Amino acid sequence: MMNRLIPLTLGLTLPLMGMADEINDNRIAGGTIGGKLTFATDYVFRGESETQDGKVPVVQGTLGWTHDNGWYLGAFASNIKFQDPNLEIVTAPYFGKYGEIGNSGFQYDVMLFAYLYPGASYSNYTELWLRVSKAFDDLNLQVEITPTLDDWFGVDGWKGVNYALHPSYQLAANLTVSGSVGYQDLYDADDAAEGWGHWNLGVNTQYIGLDFDLRYHGSTVDKDHKVYGTQTLIFDDRLVFGVSKRF
């Protein structure tokens, strides 16, 4: 097979989800500049450890600009570790728009997200993130459909679509329980690709100006999987702890 098969939802999951969450008083050109710095024990993306089963801790950063009308752009970066020694860092510029669908109370978020690997450009690819969410008092539900726009991880002819549901519930002013359940579909003309299910459940709280996240991740990948059958270790269930600072 190939040396590396897939990196994206807060090292915990990619801190994408629009820079709408990063708004503060750093105003420029009709919008706001904000960022986030995260230290975590692992970087898990759709059930997969991006650090070869947590061999190294991760440092992640996001810097972005959000306009008052909902347009946003920015970049994400993280260290990674894979069998391919050229895959040491992922950088990801993104561009998107969020807002409300009419007066329905449903929120949308549409984003282009490009995975770029310095020194390993043969692995670059792009996804289109399509998300709709709705708040029901303290409960929030988000539905995601995320197709690849070019060859998945640079593998000729391979395409993918991630389908996921992301629920969250605010237990207290500074305590939230959240999770995700999804399926990463992966297909090609030769039937060599195969998708997998993934999920996570965790708690997030704020203290002394920091965000703390403790999350358990799992997947359906086993030794019979066409793509990851020889790499099941990176899909083992795992507990991940992260600390973040927003600015």
Instruction: Write out pLDDT tens, residues 104-144.
Output: 999 999 999 999 999 899 999 999 999 999 999 999 999 99
Report the pLDDT averaged over residues 198-210: 97
Q: Average of pLDDT values for 174-189?
A: 97
| Yes or no: domain 19-246 corresponds to CATH 3.30.70.260 | no
Checking if the pLDDT of 3 tops 70, the result is no
Query: CA-based angle 218:222:227, to the nearest 5?
Result: 105
How far apart, in whole angstroms, are the C-alpha atoms of residue 229 and residue 171?
Answer: 39
Give yes or no for a contact between 49 and 81, defined as CB atoms under 8 angstroms apart: no
48 pLDDT higher than 70 = yes
Q: What is the DSSP string of the chain?
A: --S---------S-S-S-GGGG--S-EETTEEEEEEEEEES--EETTEETBTTTSS-EEEEEEEEEETTSEEEEEEEEE-B-SSTT--EEEEEEEEEEEESTTSSEEEEEEEEEEB-TT-GGG-EEEEEEEEEEEETTEEEEEEEEEBSSSGGG-TT-EEEEEEEEEEEEEETTEEEEEEEEEEEEE-TTS----EEEEEEEEEEEETTEEEEEEEEEE---TT-TTTTT-GGGGS-EEEEEEEEE-
Domain extent listing, the chain: 19-246
Q: Residue 130, Cα to own-chain centre: how many angstroms?
A: 13
Radius of gyration of the chain, Cα coordinates, nearest whole angstrom: 17
Q: What is the pLDDT of residue 13?
A: 44
Per-residue pLDDT tens over the stretch 159-176: 999 999 999 999 999 999
Phi, psi of 22 (to 5 degrees): -105, 15
Structure tokens at 232: 């099941």
pLDDT tens for each residue of 30-42:
899 999 999 999 9
Count CB atoms within 10 A of the CB of residue 31: 20
Kindly report whether the global pTM for this prediction surpasses the value 0.85: yes
The structure tokens 């960022």 sit at 35
